[in-house]
Amino acid sequence: MAKGKKVTVIGTGNFGSTVAFIMAMNGTCHQVVLRGRNYDVAKGKALDMSQAANAARQHTIVRAAKGPEDMANSDVIVITAGAPRTPGMSRDDLLTKNAEIVKMYSREIKEHAPDAIVVVVSNPLDVMTYVALKETGFPRERVLGMAGILDAARMAHFIFEKLNYGAGQIRATVMGGHGDTMVPLPKFTTVAGVPIDDLLDSEEIGEIVKKTRNGGAEIVNLLGDGSAYYAPAKSTTVMVEAILKDTNQIHSCAVMLQDDYGYSDIVSGVPVMIGAGGAEKVINMSLKPLQVERFKKSVASVQEMINKLYELNFFK
């Protein structure tokens, strides 16, 4: 366990609670703080998780935050808070509503935990990461969005479904925004080191790429009420552990691009080296012309939403 490390999870819904639970079970940190709108709910879940940690013979203490001051001295803060899209609500409505939520928490972080690394998982992911960056004023390496690890895990699962072997040995790579414009990279996808192109034909790979893009929507449709949270939560804890343990592992994360892949001042998912300082290095890979074009489309989609926030004088 990382001694003395503290992680705050903002949001006590299924997603946030699962992130906190996984960290408690893994002994990822010394202390997990749950920050939610309802203190009693957060306290109840914190008690339950702390007792589970004892059953697992872990030393992690989970407690509820009474106010933003309880985030003080956090090494990592995970923002999962956000409103679900309800009937009659447009995507633009959801964009502004969640942007206001992330803005509020980002300002609290800036005041009470100015040295923390922030992992954003609220949707729309890339835009919310941009909002957190602007509102905290933190350097780009200390504000990361979680999406690429999840998308890569989904792609790996669909590859396994197609092959029916190689579970646990599939390494998939995904770039771009989280959603319909994500850019899966079969060129950098392997099964026990064997390139996916040697195992599947282009039609089969295309089918896997399509399923990866729709991976989240498929789960939403099956559940009928709610969205995925087990795989997203595990993907988030992979990032948190890489930071706390200073592993220098490479994962695809949403970061502010600064002359990376030809773009600046826009957030998108790219491979980064994650360590104690956060996104310590952006890895620039060579892309095929079609991937360059798809990445351009993905960046443009995020820029369009950010432009809407500027039109509304959101950043003031």
Which residues are identified as catalytic?
178
Q: Decide if 213 contacts 158 (C-beta within 8 A).
A: no
Name 15's Cβ contacts closer than 8 Å, sequence gap at least 6: 80, 121, 229, 232, 233
Alpha helices by DSSP H, listed for 12-64, are: 14-26, 39-55
Q: Is 79 helix (H, G, I), strand (E, B) or coil?
A: strand
In angstroms, the CA 199 to CA 154 distance is 18
Name 304's Cβ contacts closer than 8 Å, sequence gap at least 6: none
Residue by residue, DSSP assigns 255-304 as EEEEEETTEEEEEEEEEEEEETTEEEEE------HHHHHHHHHHHHHHHH
Task: Indicate the angle between helix axes 202-213 and 215-223, nearest 10 degrees.
Answer: 50
Query: What single letter denotes the amino acid at residue 144?
Result: L
Element containing residue 145 per DSSP (H, E): strand 143-145
Per the structure block, which two tokens stand in for 187?
């060129």
Q: Which of 107, 134, 12 is nearest to 63 (CA)?
A: 12
How far does CA 86 lie from the centroid of its chain?
A: 22
Q: Decide if 1 contacts 27 (C-beta within 8 A).
A: yes
Q: Decide if 227 contacts 220 (C-beta within 8 A).
A: yes
